[in-house]
Chains A and B, each alone.
Chain A
Amino acid sequence: MNVAFTSIRQAAEVSPSAAIAISGLTKSFMPGMPVFSDITLDIEPGSIVALIGANGAGKSTLLRCIPRLIEPDEGQIRVLGSNVMGPSRELRGVRTRIGFVFQKHNLVGRLSALTNVVHGAQARGFGAKAWLQSLAPQAIRKEALHCLGRVGLAAMAAQRADQLSGGQSQRVAIARALMQHPEIVLADEPAASLDPQAGDEVMQLFAALMRQESKTVLFTSHNLSHSLLFADRVIALGGGKIVLDSPTSRLRESELRDLYV
């Protein structure tokens, strides 16, 4: 692969201050055919990192392994100093600190945009009070409306989620993540299911909000311009390994394009 391999870190180099520290991570869905193996990387607090790679490179699998939505075969994952591979109680605690924005938004279509955002408060221990906006305390309802306002959708708070456009749905999903007050946000191709213009708008909004709140972000993307424009650092997966890990400032789009050849 004709790519400048700016920096590929080894297991021993995982920083103790990292927001996300992964070492020796391996995952396979079929025996003998790992999606990736022995992945080691760390993400510094407050940085925005793009994870790129061709279809099937394992970007989404790696992202989903971090909060253990997919169970890794081997390796260690620490998020904000907590061991993700620990027992389920500890895992749930770690998950409450991670926001996740999905490619397909994953909203409850029959519920209003406001209720979907209120759901984010479940990560903050509001339990049954955050099942529906009608059950939520006034402060939570107001905060959810404020979050919708930040993504430009306050006027659509009462609208059912399945009546929103793709771009609007993704904005609601971002508002839900904000409502969670996470320290880390993982986003799995947040713009992939949107048309180019809506995709650009959503990515712009997403990156701006994340920077405002100094969140640590790891997002996957096929859009190289998005990766270069919105991330501080780009990590590329290929052949089950990290094939590139570099600050965005040192990269050119043509260089990244070679990864897909």
Chain B
Amino acid sequence: MSDIALPSRVARVSPLTFALSLAVIAFVIASFTTSGIAPDKLSRGIPALGRLVGQMFPPSVERLEPVLWSLLQTFQMAVAGTMLGLIFSLPLAILAAPSLSPHPAVVWLVRAIVALFRTVPDLVWAIVFVIAVGLGPAAGVLALMVDTIGFAARFFAEAMEETEKGPREALTAMGARRSGIIFSSVIPQALPSMINTSLFSLEKATRGSVVLGLVGAGGIGIELKVSLEMFDYDQAATIVIAIFLLVLAVERASTWVRNRVL
């Protein structure tokens, strides 16, 4: 038998770690209290939820045609917003990638702009653009574009940074221009990751586009809002099912494309 003592089953905790752990636990408990989640409230809510579901079914197909047109418009907003976002993401990503950008200050500035685009929710961007360009799908498209830039520019930049440096070095050694190095070596290598990000952007924009109508930025959201405000819950059910099917179809299609391309 060895004379060496067995290590303790539990690692020793410093007073600071212990105090921080207590503070985190207290904050979690306080969060539940503030949010008003209580068993009696939940027990009262479940029957109300049951009544709502009862009123939603069977879904009404009375206004199916205008709902489907709105759904198409919503998807078109998502496609247009994503495309514009991806187009602007490419140059921004190049400027945000430290090894491709002309200056570290440019990297910092572009990353800050992209972070701003990403951290402000798309609904807030929709409100901003409704104020700027008025009610309608144009505001929605611009909101989705900004949201896509925030997401795609960051991931494009990371994909570019992760590419193999060897082919870049080969082109540098032969005196190729910076644009040549980017388009001959960096983008071809980053392409699978960029396609992946683009497909996720489209899925994200499709999900995002359905709620933009709630603030007047076009699409099916306005139909949903009106149905709920008029207590036409069976109508709302049709819209929710239509949205679900659209999002599911886009996700399935993008998975299919991803598997084919990558």
- Chain A residues with CB under 8 Å of chain B are 67, 69, 92-100, 102, 104-111, 119-120, 122-123, 127-128, 130-132, 173, 176, 180, 182
Contacts and interface: CB of A to CB of B under 8 A. Distances in A.
A142 to B, nearest CB: 19
A69 B184 contact: no
Interface of B: 164, 166-167, 169-177, 179-180, 183-185, 188-189, 191-192
A82 to B, nearest CB: 12
Given A96-B174, A122-B174, A180-B174, A110 B188 contact: yes
A96 B171 CA distance: 10
A127 B180 CA distance: 7
A176 B170 contact: yes
B202 to A, nearest CB: 22
A96 B175 contact: yes
9 contacts: A69-B172, A96-B174, A97-B175, A102-B166, A109-B164, A110-B192, A119-B171, A122-B184, A127-B180
A109 B183 CA distance: 14
- The interface centre, meaning the residue of A104, A131, A173 with most chain B CB atoms within 10 A of its CB, is A131
A111 B190 CA distance: 12
Contacts of B175: 92-98, 122-123
Contacts of A104: 166
Contacts of B185: 108
A111 B173 CA distance: 19
A104 B165 CA distance: 11
Contacts of B174: 95-96, 98-100, 119-120, 122-123, 180, 182
Contact of B173 (A69, A109, A130, A132): A69
A13 to B, nearest CB: 28
A108 B184 contact: yes
Contacts of A120: 174
A20 B183 CA distance: 31
A106 B184 contact: no
Contacts of B164: 109
* Complex A-B, nearest 5 residue pairs according to Cβ-Cβ distance, in ascending order: A95-B175, A96-B175, A106-B166, A106-B170, A100-B173
A108 B189 contact: yes
Contacts of A93: 175
A130 B166 contact: no
Contacts of A67: 173
B38 to A, nearest CB: 57
Given A93-B175, A119-B176, A107 B184 contact: no
A111 B188 contact: yes
B180 A110 contact: no
Contacts of B171: 119, 122
A98 B191 CA distance: 29
Given A67-B173, A122-B171, 10 more contacts: A94-B175, A95-B175, A98-B175, A104-B166, A111-B184, A119-B180, A119-B184, A122-B177, A123-B174, A127-B177
B169 A69 contact: yes
A109 B189 contact: yes
Given A108-B188, A111-B188, A102 B170 contact: yes
